[in-house]
A and B are shown apart, each in its own frame.
Chain A
Amino acid sequence: AQSVTQLDSQVPVFEEAPVELRCNYSSSVSVYLFWYVQYPNQGLQLLLKYLSGSTLVESINGFEAEFNKSQTSFHLRKPSVHISDTAEYFCAVTWMDSSYKLIFGSGTRLLVRP
């Protein structure tokens, strides 16, 4: 079955420290990969995506993620976090045999402390 795993339900980190949020998916069949961010009482905002090409993708606010096909992973990283990065982060995958839908992980709450 197709599934997305985010092993860390919560990641506490101090401001200006680096962070990595982990994401693994169940199959190496052709996929599109996404990270969404959700602030309290809001919908989902697309942070970055991998469709094809370079395996390293970047967002405008300093996050990056790397597609690793052999490890079926798409971990999210930021070298220096800010208080404003505190939010819930969801990894999501679209498999090409069901390209109309996203399957989400359970989310990781990033808590940035001063």
Chain B
Amino acid sequence: DAGVTQSPTHLIKTRGQHVTLRCSPISGHKSVSWYQQVLGQGPQFIFQYYEKEERGRGNFPDRFSARQFPNYSSELNVNALLLGDSALYLCASSLLDKNYGYTFGSGTRLTVV
């Protein structure tokens, strides 16, 4: 079975641009979470979606938004990119809304120049 898949794997954007990152959860998993990992740090929680509803949001500005589709895939959108948004963005999926052990994807490496 396929694991959590994320696309693209890498991308480079210019300050002020908009970016959309995509995530497909493991088949049957209804929860998708997004994390930001800045180089040299642990991942930071951004969002969790379960059954297409936002269940939690981390301490990120409104420039960050997300949604979950009927097939449980998800998008993370970031507007007005800043240099500090450069990071590895990780998607995680789980069967339920509570965390009993998320499965992470390989991430999208975003570089803002």
* Chain A residues with a Cβ under 8 A of chain B: 4, 32, 34, 36, 42-46, 49, 51, 90, 92, 94, 98-107
Contact = CB atoms under 8 A, between A and B. Distances in A.
B76 interface: no
Nearest to B91: A43
Contacts of A100: 31, 33, 48, 50, 55-56, 97-99
Contact of B101 (A34, A101, A103, A105): A34
A42 B45 contact: no
A34 B33 CA distance: 16
A98 to B, nearest CB: 7
Interface residues on B, range: 20 to 34
Contacts of A34: 101
Contacts of A46: 101-104
B106 interface: yes
B44 interface: yes
A101 B33 contact: yes
Interface of B: 4, 31, 33, 35, 41-45, 48, 50, 55-56, 58, 90, 92, 97-107
A106 B98 contact: no
Nearest to A98: B56
A51 B42 contact: no
Given A34-B101, A51-B100, A101-B58, 8 more contacts: A4-B42, A32-B99, A32-B100, A44-B43, A51-B101, A90-B42, A100-B98, A104-B43
Contacts of A103: 45
B4 to A, nearest CB: 8
A30 to B, nearest CB: 12
Contacts of B45: 101-103
Contacts of A43: 4, 90, 104-107
A81 B77 CA distance: 41
A42 B88 CA distance: 10
5 contacts: A44-B43, A92-B42, A100-B97, A103-B45, A104-B43
B7 to A, nearest CB: 13
